[in-house]
Amino acid sequence: MPQEVRGVVAMTKGAPVTLETVVVPDPGAGEALVAIQACGVCHTDLHYREGGINDDFPFLLGHEAAGVVEAIGAGVTGLEPGDYVILNWRAVCGGCRACRRGQPWYCFATRNAQQRMTLADGVALSPALGIGAFVAKTLVAAGQCTKVDPRVPPEVAGLLGCGVMAGLGAALNTGSVSRGDSVAVFGCGGVGDAAIAGARLAGATTIIGVDVDERKLGWAREFGATETINSRERDPVEAIRAFTGGHGADVVIDAVGRPETYLQAFYARDLAGTVVLVGVPTPDMQLTLPLLDVFGRGGALKSSWYGDCLPSRDFPLLVELYLQGRLPLDRFVSEQIGLGDVEAAFDKMHRGEVLRSVVVM
Ligand SMILES: NC(=O)c1ccc[n+]([C@@H]2O[C@H](COP(=O)([O-])OP(=O)(O)OC[C@H]3O[C@@H](n4cnc5c(N)ncnc54)[C@H](O)[C@@H]3O)[C@@H](O)[C@H]2O)c1
Ligand SMILES: [Zn+2]
Ligand SMILES: [Zn+2]
């Protein structure tokens, strides 16, 4: 029997989100029904609401979630009702050309539920990142569920499902930060601070946080930034060079995703260094760079989809580091809110008052 629950929906471009009745089908073949316990508010949810991702309104928002499997469909193995899981938005297929050549974190055919959740009038919802978790129950592909140690509280665990994983992975996986590296991170929100925490975990010795907001820079220091730069007050490229012996950083991570921050990241990098773009641009944005500088500065310009993570490998590992007290994931949780408070959480995100507001069911 399909179930009716309340969920946070973006009905039209730019309009405030509303609480709507969501009809959730029973899980079909390869699907799982998950009772959501907590879901973080990510900047990507706001991008969806503003039409910055695509125009497939209405969107069921929310995608940084943890919960308990309630039911599984036919053919699902390795997952049972009662399992405590973090949801991921890149369930690898195992058969595409990326998976076949042993790079499943690039999977080009990631899986989502086949059936659609709908509004009460039958209109199909587009779940954010194929999840849609600002809702009591959601329907996903079974591969989107990664079992983790139930000792990690859901409001913390859920964050690994998107922004925190993206930031940690931008440093650890995409940027391959290693001992003694210098790292600069543009944008010290949830994603950028996770990149800073990842750089510290990897043994970087100089970690520079850049933001336009002093409060964010204070938090960046708590996550491990050894230097901070307010780019409203100082040219960040010059300041990063000054902190790195005049050279620039080995790895520069753009966790904002705007042409101006990308250009700054590009020139704040040492010769043969790496730029990692983890912030998500909008379709209107363009970048112009002297091609000779792209060649002459060498190194690597990389994008980080979901921190190049492999949920089955990375989620349990990061949970373990958290439980050992080596990864301060709870510091990302600025406040716990209810389902009706998501629009207010967007405002707080806009004003820079929070790292993560987390909806707790
Ligand atoms: N690649 C991925 O898989 C992935 C996953 C999750 C989120 N994201 C993206 O990462 C980005 C950051 O997400 P978030 O949740 O941390 O957002 P956030 O709003 O919490 O943080 C963004 C930060 O950037 C700062 N900022 C804005 N303009 C700036 C500028 N010109 N220079 C320096 N700092 C500036 C803001 O003050 C803020 O602290 C978003 O674009 C989001 O969509 C990407
Ligand atoms: Zn694949
Ligand atoms: Zn997200």
Q: Read off the pLDDT of residues 126-173 as tens digits, 9 standing for 90 and up.
A: 999 999 999 999 999 999 999 999 999 999 999 999 999 999 999 999
If you take atom 6 of ligand 1, which residue's CA is the nearest one?
163
Q: What is the mean pLDDT of residues 61-85?
A: 98
Separation of CA 69 and ligand 3 centre (Å)? 21
Counting from 1 in the atom list of ligand 1, the atom nearest the Cα of 306 is 3
Ligand nearest to the CA of 158: 3
- Given a cut of 90, whether residue 282 has pLDDT beyond it is no
Output the pTM of the full model: 0.95
Cis upstream peptide for 281 (omega within 30°): no
- Given a cut of 90, whether residue 283 has pLDDT beyond it is no
Separation of CA 149 and ligand 1 centre (Å)? 29
Quick: pLDDT tens for 33-58: 999 999 999 999 999 999 989 999 99
Quick: pLDDT tens for 231-261: 999 999 999 999 999 999 999 999 999 999 9
Q: State the pairing for strand pair 3-10/59-60.
A: antiparallel
Determine which helix (DSSP H) or strand (DSSP E) holds 238, and give its type and residue range: helix 236-243
Q: State the pairing for strand pair 118-119/249-254.
A: unpaired
Non-local CB neighbours of 44 within 8 Å, separated by 6+ positions? 53, 63, 128, 129, 162, 163, 280
| Residue to substitute in 45, 208, 211 for testing ligand 1 pocket (most ligand atoms within 8 angstroms of CB) | 211
| Residue to substitute in 39, 41, 42 for testing ligand 1 pocket (most ligand atoms within 8 angstroms of CB) | 42
Task: Assess whether the C-beta atom of 212 lies below 6 angstroms from ligand 1.
Answer: yes
- Given a cut of 90, whether residue 361 has pLDDT beyond it is yes
Separation of CA 295 and ligand 3 centre (Å)? 33
Task: Assess whether the C-beta atom of 166 lies below 6 angstroms from ligand 1.
Answer: yes
Non-local CB neighbours of 205 within 8 Å, separated by 6+ positions? 179, 180, 181, 182, 226
Mean pLDDT score of the chain:
97
Task: Assess whether the C-beta atom of 186 lies below 6 angstroms from ligand 1.
Answer: yes
Task: Assess whether the C-beta atom of 44 lies below 6 angstroms from ligand 1.
Answer: yes
- Given a cut of 90, whether residue 300 has pLDDT beyond it is yes
Angle, vertex CA 329, rays to CA 326 and CA 332, nearest 5: 145
Task: Assess whether the C-beta atom of 211 lies below 6 angstroms from ligand 1.
Answer: yes
Amino acid, single-letter form, for residue 246: G
Q: What is the mean pLDDT of residues 102-122?
A: 96
Separation of CA 143 and ligand 2 centre (Å)? 12
Task: Assess whether the C-beta atom of 354 lies below 6 angstroms from ligand 1.
Answer: no
Separation of CA 96 and ligand 1 centre (Å)? 30
Residues with CB under 5 A from ligand 2 (ion): 93, 96, 99, 107, 109
Ligand nearest to the CA of 107: 2
| Residue to substitute in 87, 222, 256 for testing ligand 1 pocket (most ligand atoms within 8 angstroms of CB) | 256
Q: What is the mean pLDDT of residues 111-131?
A: 97
Amino acid, single-letter form, for residue 342: V
Q: What is the mean pLDDT of residues 184-208?
A: 97
If you take atom 22 of ligand 1, which residue's CA is the nearest one?
189
If you take atom 1 of ligand 1, which residue's CA is the nearest one?
278
Separation of CA 220 and ligand 1 centre (Å)? 13
DSSP states of 116-150: PPEETTSPBPEEGGGT--SBSEEEEEGGGEEE--T
Non-local CB neighbours of 337 within 8 Å, separated by 6+ positions? 41, 344, 345, 357, 358, 359, 360
